[in-house]
Amino acid sequence: MNNITIKSPLDMHLHLRDKEMLKIVAPLSAKSFSAGIIMPNLVPPITTIEDIKNYKQRIIDSIKNEKFEPLMTLFFKNNYTYKFLEEVKEYISAIKLYPSGVTTNSHEGVSNMNIEELRETFEAMSELGIPLCVHGETDGFVMDREAEFVPIYEQFAKNFPNLKIIMEHITTKNSVNLLNCYDNLYATITVQHLFITLDDIAGGMLKPHLFCKPIAKRYEDREALLSVALSGHHKVMFGSDSAPHPTDKKECFGCAAGVFTAPIALMALTSLFDSNNALENLQAFVSDNAQKIYSYKPLDKRIELTKKPFVVPLNYANIVPMFAGEELPWSIVTK
């Protein structure tokens, strides 16, 4: 097969930032995708209906005439009332929970995962049908943080069986195994975690543009992720976690966490699925599964790719993408 058309591709975990950065990166996602779940960890975070409306409008203004729907999220606080959640529901697709301090702009997140403290909000979300997206890491040893969060996911799933829980950007075999244990657990998987392990980041010369949180793990973890993604497993979906930072924030002391994949994601995934003889499952991974999980009908948008080499630019403005300067076997057909 030398050509493939993806119907309404979706990015179910996307950072668009704000201000000048938003103007650079939003059009790149809007060009390749029909919609994206937009992360709320701005400074300050998105916590009100007015915040949501204003940020969504800034995104729409930035993408101009591209056919793309920003699916907004709210930054989780455990003091949201039922009345507020009932009002905000029509403006959001999910609420994103960040453990405090575990990743970029998460210091206002949850510092105590005690079930009883979260119960009122989780029960309201369950009743209202609002999905919960979770950055599932503790503040423990960096390679163990996601695995240490597994018991917390289990508590959430057991205590709130009607709450749809999305384990964001999973990176471990443990998390993959958890998918089949609870009906209400789902997951997003990124581009980078399907391609790299920790060896690729720090096994030789340090590669700051591959550094993200959760950090890439071991070979067996990547194999587990590949297995569920390439098979089109109905509980996993693509979420890039594309996280742009200016070059001076990546190539520096105190390197920022985040891999920028938005403009090359579809080309990289098509190349990966093709090389693994799994192109027939790409549509499910990048769109169909997410539509079912979120009960969402996307805009009709067709992206055609062809088996023609694409050389990834060294940068987009001042942001270095994954695979910068490298050649991908597939490219998007421009019209």
Local structure of 187: helix, strand or coil:
strand
| Contact status, residue 164 vs residue 125, Cβ threshold 8 Å | no
Whether 1 shows a pLDDT value over 90: the answer reads no
DSSP character for 210? Answer: G
pLDDT band, very low/low/confident/very high, at 335 (cuts 50, 70, 90): low
Number of other residues whose CB lies within 10 A of the CB of residue 56: 18
- Dist CA 227 CA 172 (whole Å): 12
Burial per residue of 93-103, b for 16 or more beta-carbon CB atoms within 10 angstroms, e otherwise: bbbbbbbeebb
**pLDDT tens digits for 154-180?**
999 999 999 999 999 999 999 999 999
pLDDT value, residue 104: 82
236: enclosing H helix or E strand? strand 236-238
Residue 285, judged by CB atoms within 10 A of its CB (0-12, 13-18, 19+), counts as buried
Q: CA 269 to CA 192: how far, in whole Å?
A: 10
Of residues 11, 51, 221, 241, which has the active-site annotation?
A: 241
Pick from 159, 49, 40: which is nearest to 95 by CA?
A: 40
Q: Which fold has domain 13-262?
A: TIM Barrel (3.20.20)
Q: List the Cα angle 72/270/6 in 5-degree steps.
A: 60
Tell me if 53 sits within 8 A of 77, measured CB to CB. Answer: no
Q: Residue-wise over 16-45: b if at least 16 C-beta within 10 A, else e?
A: bbeeebbbbbbbbbbbbbbbbbbbbbbeeb
Task: Name the CA dihedral angle for 5, 10, 14, 16, rounded to a multiple of 10 degrees.
Answer: 70
Domain ranges of the chain: 13-262
For residue range 72-126, what is the model confidence (pLDDT) as tens digits?
999 999 999 999 999 999 999 999 999 988 888 888 888 888 999 999 999 999 9
| 51 is an active site residue | no
Considering the chain, what is the average pLDDT of its residues? Answer: 96
Total residue length of the chain: 335
Amino acid letter for position 310: F
